Amino acid sequence: MKVGIDKLAFYTPPFYLPLATLAQARGVDADKYHIGLGQQHMAVIPPDESIVTMAANAASTLLQDEDKSSIDHVLFATESGVDQSKAAGIFVHHLLKLPARCRVVELKQACYSATAGLHMAMALLQQNPKRKILLLAADIARYGLGSAGEPSQGGGAVAMLLSANPRVLAIEPECGYYTRDVMDFWRPNYRDEALVEGKYSCEIYLDTLTKAWQHYHETSGRSFEDHQQFLYHIPFPRLAEKAHHVLRSYVDLPKAPKAEVSQQLDAALHYSRSTGNCYSGSLYLGLVSLLDNHADDLSGQRIGLYSYGSGCVGEFYSAVVQSDYRQHIFTEHHQTMLAKRQALTIEQYEQFYQYHSHSAQHESVPYTTTGKYRYAGSKDHKPIFESSGVTARAPGKLILSGEHAVVQGAPCLVVAIDRYTTTTVTAENKPHLRFHLPDIQHVGETTFDKLGKAKSRLQDAYGKFSRGERGIRDVLQKPFELLHYTASHTLEKLDPKRERGFEVSTQSTLPIGCGMGSSASSVVSTNYAITHYLGKAVDSKLQYELSLAAENMQHGQSSGVDLHIAIYGGCHLFQQGQSDARPCPTQPFYIVNTGKPESNTGECVSVTSQHFAQEESLLDAFSDVTHQVDQALQNQDDAALITAVKANHALLVQIGVVPKTLAKFIAAVEQAGGAGKICGAGAVKGEHAGCVWLLGDKIMLARLAEQHGYTLETLHAEAHGVTLV
């Protein structure tokens, strides 16, 4: 049975010191660092970060969509423990809200301990393949201001979710190890900084490599050529490059040109060049970097890994990259995190450095980090760790019957689906709001004052729309303005005097503008995240009112259906602002996305309102068919459901929101014994009408969809509304 790494992610603080800045301050040539160490920057730990917050931040990335109930072990590898007795992992366990039925231990052997934890976990997974294990490696490298080791400082954390049948890396059982009692690097309890015999430590590192390799070779029978990639513990990048030369020489391979070795190792060393040393996490930061940055698909390739911890213990083992590994790593997240870091001056760096002295006890610590978790200070010698960010998730929806008619007062049947918008709000160091909205290609920041002025402009534009002086498309000029308005409106209502800024980051699995509630899901998840970040007690009624103001900017006069479902989830019969819950459907929903319509919801409502005004019987017809769909779903009567959906489609064609191309496709589905209908506003121009719900045999639907240029997708009902992740 394969066991290994199912997911992995890393975190480093939002600050760094360019080594050129350090070189200038210390009066040395910058090439001593850039060339001699192979490093450009080093991570700097701000006052309100620690190994606990860094590990929690790394872990929260990979656990975002994970069922935490199966995690029954947390192994925390570090040589920067926050307590001589209590495992740092217990603080992380609390921050991440992991199950109480869980073993948590801290492992220590210099930089080697994460590898020890990994192999311990492999045995535990063989014992019980259903469990999952969270392995954390976090450290802060400190050598002292002005010391020889200062430029190789750094810090960060790597989190790995370990499981049977892993999707990233399968660990092979053969390994070679070596232990020797030396004093090349040590960190006495009474000192804040490490002591190191630099040259001697490098010699021991390289000697241990050859002895661990020899044991591995004897155990596995593998040669150097059996490995396509190599990873080494990275105290500083140049030493890893030297290790590769030494290993090649040891196995009697000719010395490779320096440029060739650099090319072979550059992908693995890329992140370390920017973060510096993170001790127990260094080897695994190299693994993250390799998987994120290597240009080739590494599926099926064997990696040789050398782990070293001063004092000393070394180990060489191997692992095989799994197919589709790129679907389970967090490349974009890592690269964005590094790109957003702030460079410090030498004065700022030295000020931050002083906060992490063991002798300094701080009852409160200034806000500096932008991570989700922070060290808040200590009380009665007890460290306090807290969340500094909030993540909320809201579902999208399908309107099963009653679109357009609901605006006129008729009933509407709607269900929440398992597609979501997720919004994270985190602290910012400046008095501004930063928006990271990758789904609409928007990254920007604005002051509170500018945000308020933009809100006033949008309200003026909406007033003109309400008076018939302009169309709804003239209100929001750019897509990002919807969430700018959402944030501004909520702040004005709940925290008008706020001075400290924050970042709003949203990501969605809902297609935009296709009738699946993407705007409502975005507004609700953003409002929910902001209100909880502000620490305000806001009930569902106020959440709805706050969200409705923003949703009206998008749709003119929102029926409130999408918002209601995003807040409450489940299945509801909705009429004139009142909702009656229905049993949540258990059958799958088959859909095709025909593409974003040229017309928006407000334009479609304007056209259909004329039909309802001219034909009074239409409203009754829509009401009747909605009740038929409702009853058929409750009775699980497939034949009656198909009949009702066909009638619903005919009514939608009658009010002009079904393009001719789509009508031909649905006609083909009906001829094959199925049914279909739009699940949103549809379109009054163009050939795209967003989401279409289909009923019938799945194979038949997939075949017809492909013939007409669509792709069949499967959705399920979501019983829960907006929630904190």
The three state secondary structure string of 421-468 is EEEEEEECCCCEEEEEEHHHCEEEEEEHHHHHHHHHHHHHHHHHHHCC
Q: Which of 224, 288, 220 is nearest to 250 (CA)?
A: 224
Q: Which of 571, 569, 691 is nearest to 626 (CA)?
A: 571
Residue 31 makes CB contacts below 8 A (sequence gap 6+) with none
Catalytic residue among 111, 202, 312, 571: 111
- Quickly name the fold that domain 389-586 has: Ribosomal Protein S5; domain 2 (3.30.230)
For the domain bounded by 3-385, which CATH number is listed?
3.40.47.10
| Regions of the chain where pLDDT drops below 70 | 357-361, 429
pLDDT value at residue 360: 63
Q: Which of 180, 74, 162 is nearest to 119 (CA)?
A: 162
Any idea which residue has 């990271």 for tokens? 436
Q: Are 141 and 310 in contact (CB under 8 A)?
A: no
Q: Which of 421, 370, 377 is nearest to 57 (CA)?
A: 370
Report how far Cα 641 is from the mean position of its chain's Cα atoms: 38
Which ranges constitute the DSSP H helices of 72-178?
88-95, 113-127
pLDDT value at residue 714: 94
Catalytic residue among 73, 93, 217, 233: 233
Q: Which of 284, 236, 244 is nearest to 260 (CA)?
A: 244
* 111 in active site: yes
Task: Enter the tokens of residue 87.
Answer: 């495992």
* 79 in active site: yes
Q: Which of 151, 137, 213 is nearest to 176 (CA)?
A: 213
Q: Provide, for the chain, the percentages of residues in helix, strand and coil under a 3-state DSSP scheme, each rounded to the nearest 5.
A: 40, 25, 35
For the chain, the domains span 3-385, 389-586, 589-715
Q: Are 241 and 261 in contact (CB under 8 A)?
A: yes
Q: What are the φ and ψ backbone dihedral angles of 623, each rounded to 5 degrees?
A: -60, -45
Q: Are 637 and 663 in contact (CB under 8 A)?
A: no
Q: Angle 282-293/331-339 helices, nearest 10 degrees?
A: 110
User: How far from each other are the two terminal CA atoms of the chain, in whole angstroms?
Assistant: 32
Can you say whether the dihedral through the CA atoms of 709, 714, 719, 723 is positive or negative? negative
Reported residue count of the chain is: 725
Q: Please give the Cα distance from 160 to 316 (Å, whole number).
A: 19
Which residues sit opposite 107 in a β-bridge? 77
Q: Return the SS3 of 272.
A: helix
Which homologous superfamily does the CATH classification assign to the domain defined by 589-715?
A: GHMP kinase, C-terminal domain (3.30.70.890)
Catalytic residue among 49, 79, 172, 603: 79
Q: Are 696 and 642 in contact (CB under 8 A)?
A: yes
Task: Enter the tokens of residue 208.
Answer: 């241990």
Q: Alpha-carbon dihedral of residues 176, 180, 185, 188, nearest 10 degrees?
A: 120
Q: Please give the Cα distance from 676 to 694 (Å, whole number).
A: 4
Reported in sequence order, the residue ranges of 516-638 that DSSP labels E, i.e. its strands, are: 571-575, 578-582, 589-593
